[in-house]
Amino acid sequence: MTNGQTNGALDYQPGNGAVHDDALIDCDIAELHYGKFKAVRDVAVKLKWGTITAFIGPSGCGKSTVLRSLNRMNDLVRGFHLKGRVIFRGQDIYATRVDPVAVRRHIGMVFQQPNPFAMSVFRNVAFGLRLNGYKGRMDDKVEQALRQAALWDEVKDKIRSSALALSGGQQQRLCIARAVATEPAVLLMDEPCSALDPIATHRIEELMAELKKKYTIAIVTHNLQQARRVADMTAFLYVDTSSGGRTGYMVEYGPTPAMFENPREEPTQAYIRGEFG
């Protein structure tokens, strides 16, 4: 790659760890606008089945924006417009006939702030199942989801009490349980640990390593070490201010060890050295 301005993604070379063909989500965003504001350009990543992909970069580089466009959460923002494509299982989720509600049932999301509903632990986990009209034994499904989120032992005695009484770390694992209860194909995690203490963060990271056996995960993180610990693939996004505005773009994308040990681009090297952030 010769020019960081063009983009690193399309320049990505196969053979250094990732396989192109079994990508569950093939995302190629040429431009992403909010009204007239160009927020992101030139991001192309492929989420391979059973891997964790991390988006890293300084504040305002658009990493959360990219993540939220993978399950059409950005549709809620007025003026949102995307040029490009996000192929999920062979289908572009931005095609006109696609229902964003259906997309979100396959591609779940965990948010930065733990956001359980003001209901019991049980009803939080059962929420998605009920939305989908699940008819089977709810108790089993809820227990299974809570076990997957490594929360069952802590909450099994207070399953009928309010989820808001749980600690922050427990609430976030509850949100993960809620998301995996409906067995989505992909789990998007938007800085899931930024509101948590180190111990809770560690638990979530362990959990992610466990979850990737079943789910394909994409995570946005501010914490470089976290990306290094959990991610198989890492994408580095940076801000381009040359055209006047602040437009995020992808500088480099590759297997995590290579990204951290041998970053090819100057901004990546500087960021990983900790010169800004």
Partner 1 sequence: MAASNEGGRVIGEIDLESLEHSLRRPRTLFSAVMSLLTGGATVLALFPLFSVLYLLVTRGVASLNFMTLTRLPPAAMAPGGGFGNAIVGTLVIIAIATLLSVPLGVLGAVFVSEIGPDTRTAAGVRFAAKVLTGLPSILAGVFSFAVVVVTTGGFSAPAGGVALALLMLPTVLLTADEAIKAVPSRMREAAIGMGATPTQVVTQVVVPTAAPAMLTGVMLAVARAAGETAPLLFTALFSEFWISSLHPYFLPKTIADLMKPTASLAVMIYNFSGSPFDNQIALAWTAALVLVVLVLIFNVIGQTMAGRSAD
Q: Containing H/E element for 266?
A: helix 266-273
Q: Which of 179, 204, 208, 235 binds partner 1 (CB under 8 A)?
A: 179
24 binds partner 1 (CB under 8 A): no
- Considering just the CA atoms, what is the radius of gyration of the chain in Å? 19
| Residue 13, CA distances (Å) to 17, 26, 199, 238, 272 in order | 10, 15, 37, 20, 21
10 binds partner 1 (CB under 8 A): no
Asked if residues 143 and 122 have their Cβ atoms less than 8 Å apart, the reply is: no
Asked if 267 touches partner 1 (CB under 8 A), the answer is no
Rounded to the nearest 10 degrees, the angle between the axes of helix 121-131 and helix 168-181 is: 20
Token pair for 17: 């760890």
- The residue from 51, 65, 71, 171 that contacts partner 1 (CB under 8 A) is 71
Candidate residues 115, 144, 194, 269; the one interacting with partner 1 per rule CB under 8 A = 115
CB of 236 vs partner 1, minimal distance in Å: 25
Question: Stretches 29-37, 130-138, 143-151, 191-199: which one binds partner 1 (CB under 8 A)?
Answer: 130-138
Using CB under 8 A, pick the residue from 160, 198, 243, 261 that binds partner 1.
160
Edge-to-edge, what's the strand order for the sheet holding 37-48? 91-92, 80-88, 23-34, 37-48, 247-255, 233-240, 52-56, 216-220, 186-190, 107-110
Exactly one of 80, 94, 111, 215 binds partner 1 (CB under 8 A); which one?
A: 111
For partner 1, which residue of 45, 56, 175, 176 counts as binding (CB under 8 A)?
Answer: 175
Q: CA angle, 213 as apex, 208 and 216 as ends, to 5°?
A: 70
Minimum Å gap between C-beta 124 and partner 1 is 9
The region of 1-9, 19-27, 116-124, 216-224 touching partner 1 under the rule CB under 8 A is: 116-124
- Is 63 an interacting residue with respect to partner 1 (CB under 8 A)? no
Residue 172 engages partner 1 in binding (rule: CB under 8 A)? no
Determine, following the binding rule CB under 8 A, whether residue 91 of this chain makes contact with partner 1. no
Tokens (6 digits) for 105: 């049932």
Segment lying near partner 1 (by CB under 8 A), choices 111-119, 204-212, 232-240, 261-269: 111-119
Q: Which of these segments, 46-54, 56-64, 103-111, 214-222, binds partner 1 (CB under 8 A)? A: 103-111
**DSSP states of 155-184:** HTTSTTSBGGGS-HHHHHHHHHHHHHHT--
Query: What are the residues facing 50 on neighbouring strands?
Result: none
AA letter at 33: H
- For binding to partner 1 (CB under 8 A), which residues are involved? 71, 73, 76, 101-105, 108-109, 111, 113, 115-120, 127-128, 130-132, 160-162, 175, 178-179, 182
